[in-house]
Structures are given as C-alpha cells and as structure tokens.
Structure 1
Amino acid sequence: MASIEDKLRSAGIVLPEGSSPAANYTNCVLVNGLLFVSGKGPSGNPRGKLGADYSTEEGYGFARSAGIEVLAAVREAVGSLDAVKRVVKAQGFVNATPDFAEHHKVLNGFSDLMTEIFDERGKHARSVFGANSLRDQLPVIVDSIFEVRAGS
C-alpha cells in the first residue's frame, strides 16, 4: 500500500511548511485521537468575494488550496499524514455576495482533495456557510477535524 506521501507525489502535490497562526492560537489541538485544525485559507492570500471577484470554479481551486494548507498543518502536528485514520469533519466559510448560491460547489475543492489523498478515509461530514466577510478578505476558509492514530 502506497504511503500518503507517495500519493501526494503521484498527484504532483507539494505541501508547504505549515503556516504560522496569525494571533493567539495554535494550528492544531489533539484531544482523544481527534486533531482539530484551525481555519486555513488558500495559499497566496487571494482577496475577494465569490460571485463578484471570483467564479465558482476559482472558488473550488481556492478550497483545494486551503486543503493543501490544512494537510501541511496536519503533517506538522503529527509527523506524517500516514497517521491519519479518517477525515472526520470540514466546515467551509465562503466570502460571497448575497446572491451567490454555489457554496457547496466551492467546498467540493476541499472534499475532492481529501478523497483523492485518503480514499474512503477522506470522506467526511461537512458544513458550508456563506459569509459577508472573512479575515483578510480571503475568499474561502476551511477548518477541519481529523482522527489520528495514537502516539501521533
């Protein structure tokens, strides 16, 4: 069975170093085998709203990019993505105009990445919310919960 790192390489995905928290919090908290990951936005710090500045397809790419940032934080926290037993939950926040209605399609960028990398273990519960604004005017932020192996 291929390692998760092998799957990332095969998919052409290079994880960045985990980003540092922007304030008085931590990237991840591990409690009873559950790793709670703070909200992550896409790399490059794009700014703007879905429905005005960006299309649904661009939002999908932003959510995928946020997923890569999440994976970097998880790897930093537990040492290896092979320690992930399951992606449990994702919450997506989409900075969107009031008439934008494709939030779920945007968050598919995150969800599709998780199943691409973790197969069935990547299928998760999720919620997605439209937001009037997000920090730094990011178009998407995703927070998530992972189940990890003991000793991670």
Structure 2
Amino acid sequence: MSGKIESRLAELGIDLAQGPAPAANYVPYAIVGDLVTISGQISMTPEGMLTGKLGDDVSLEQGQAAARVCAINLLSQLKSACGGDLDRVVRVVRLGGFVNSTPDFTDQPAVINGASDFMVEVFGDAGKHARAAVGCVSLPFGVAVEVEGTFQIK
C-alpha cells in the first residue's frame, strides 16, 4: 500500500525513478540527526538533460519546468534516504536553486518557483521552505537549472 505522499505524487502523474548516481566524488545525500541534505539535482529527465541559458535560448516557462524536474529528482533521492517511505518527511526546510543565466537575466526567483511550487503541491504547508535562487554563468553539463535541498524527517 502506498503512503499519503506517494498517493499525492500519483495524482500528479509522477512516478519517481531511482535517483541518479553521483557524477563525481560525493554522496547523493547525507543524514545528520533528523535532517537530510540532498546534493544538487540537475534538470535531467529519462529522455535527457534540459540544457541552455535563461535570458538566451531558454524561456522563463522552460526554466520553471526545468526547476520542477530538479525537484522531482530531489524527491527521488529523498525517497531513497527515507528507505522508500516519503511519509517520513516532516517538512521541506530549504532549497537552493542555481540558474544558468545571462548577466542581464534577473528572474532567477521566478525560475526556482518551479521547484518551490512543486514542493508545496506535494507536501502542502510542510512544503513551504527557506530558499536561495542565484544566477550562474554555467552549470554542469550545460543544464539550465540545479536545485539542492534540506528536509526534516522522522
């Protein structure tokens, strides 16, 4: 039987895949006490990576969709950290969003709303979190967005 969060994800049409393995010398997540910190997740789907630069060849809407993909990837890693039970999540504590953008692009917060809005869609009020949204000259593999997160679990 699936839990409340898995049921909510199913309502949203989302089936969490196994989180990707790290691409370098780090772990996908670290648990300290009741906090889980998930390493940055990039805008990668099973079909490929969502690449490009906001303010150039990626629209705001495409950037928001890329941030949502990052958030889904965060939950894939979080599910693994929680032993498969996302109902252990007490709240989303913080998201850090990185946007591959031109120097004159200033809507990074609107881009990262794609991830923030998703967390609230899934977790309700427990999905509301502290956050940073910053612009970067480039990101790994040329992806449009990367998001990291910290979650409280029981």
| CA deviation profile, 1:116-145 (whole Å, cap 9, x unmatched) | 000000000000100001111111000110
Give the number of aligned pairs. Answer: 148
Q: What secondary structure does 2:24 align onto?
A: coil
Cα drift, residue 22 of structure 1: 0.3
- Aligned-pair distance for 1:46? 2.0
The equivalent residue for 1:77 is 81
Q: Percent identity?
A: 43
Partner of 1:91: 96
Q: What letter is aligned with 1:110?
A: A
- Which one of the candidate residues 133, 138, 143 is aligned to 1:133? 138
SS in 1 for 2:40: strand
Ranges in structure 2 where 5+ consecutive residues have no aligned partner: none
CA distance in 1, matches of 2:14, 2:117: 14
One-letter amino acid matched to 1:142: V
Structure 1 Cα separation of the partners of residues 17 and 57 of structure 2: 26
Task: Please give the TM-score of this superposition, normalised by the length of structure 1.
Answer: 0.95
> What is the CA–CA distance in structure 2 between the aligned matches of 1:19 and 1:31, rounded to whole Å?
21
Deviations 1:21-63 (A, max 9, x none): 0011100000011000000011221221011110011000000
Structure 2 residue 108 is matched with structure 1 residue 107: no
Provide the C-alpha distance between the structure 1 equivalents of 2:148 and 2:6, rounded to a whole number of angstroms: 22
Cα distance in 2 between the residues matched to 1:126 and 1:61: 18
Gaps of 5+ in 1: none
In the TM superposition, structure 1's runs of 4+ consecutive aligned residues that sit over 2 Å from their partners are: none
TM-score using structure 2 length: 0.94
Map of 1:13 onto structure 2: 14
Please report the RMSD computed on the Cα atoms of aligned residues, expressed in angstroms: 0.9
Confirm or deny that 1:52 pairs with 2:56. Answer: yes
1:15 is paired with a residue whose SS is coil
> In the alignment, what sits opposite 2:152?
147
